Chains A and B, each alone.
Chain A
Amino acid sequence: MVDPLEKAVDGEEAPRQRFLLDDTGFDEVPPKYRRFYRKWKGPGDVLAPNEAICPVCKVVIRSTRELREGDRVYCMPCMSRLVIVRAEDGGLEARVAY
Chain B
Amino acid sequence: MAAGTSPDVHSLDPEAFLEEVHSFEFWFQSVQGYLAGTQFGHRPDVHGAPLAPAERERLVSTLCNYCVGETAALEGASGLIAIAPNRLTKVFLATQVVDEGRHLEVLLRRLAELGVTDPEAEIERRASRSIVHFKRRLLELVASRDWEAAIFAQNVILEAMEFTVFQSHARDADMVTREVLQGIIKDERRHIGFGENELGRRIQASPHIRARLGEVKKELDHLVLETFEETLRELGVPASDRPELGRHYLETVARLGFA
Between A and B, 9 residue pairs with Cβ closer than 8 Å are: A20-B4, A27-B186, A30-B30, A32-B1, A32-B7, A56-B192, A59-B189, A63-B10, A78-B196
Contact present for A28 and B186 (CB under 8 Å): yes
For residue A29, which residues in chain B have a CB less than 8 angstroms away from its CB?
26, 29-30, 33
In this assembly, does B118 line the interface, its C-beta being within 8 Å of a C-beta of chain A?
Answer: no
Q: How far is the CA of A55 from the CA of B197 in the complex (A)?
A: 12
Within the complex, what minimum Cβ distance (angstroms) separates B248 from chain A? 9
Contact present for A20 and B3 (CB under 8 Å): yes
Beyond A36-B8, A77-B186, A77-B193, 19 additional pairs, beta carbon < 8 A: A27-B186, A28-B186, A29-B30, A30-B30, A33-B7, A36-B10, A55-B251, A56-B255, A57-B192, A64-B8, A72-B10, A74-B10, A77-B189, A79-B18, A79-B21, A79-B22, A80-B197, A96-B196, A98-B201
Contact present for A33 and B6 (CB under 8 Å): yes
For residue A71, which residues in chain B have a CB less than 8 angstroms away from its CB?
10
Chain B residue nearest in CB terms to A37: B9
In this assembly, does A53 line the interface, its C-beta being within 8 Å of a C-beta of chain B?
Answer: no
Cross-interface CB contact of B3 among A21, A63, A96, cutoff 8 Å: A21
Within the complex, what minimum Cβ distance (angstroms) separates A53 from chain B? 12
For residue A23, which residues in chain B have a CB less than 8 angstroms away from its CB?
3
Given known pairs A31-B33, A33-B9, A73-B10, the reply for A78 and B204 (CB within 8 Å) is: no
Contact present for B33 and A27 (CB under 8 Å): yes
Q: Which residues of B contact A (CB under 8 A)?
A: 1, 3-4, 6-10, 12, 14, 17-18, 21-22, 26, 29-30, 33-34, 163, 186, 189-190, 192-194, 196-197, 200-201, 203-204, 251-252, 255
Assign chain A's interface to a size class: 20 to 34
In this assembly, does A38 line the interface, its C-beta being within 8 Å of a C-beta of chain B?
Answer: no
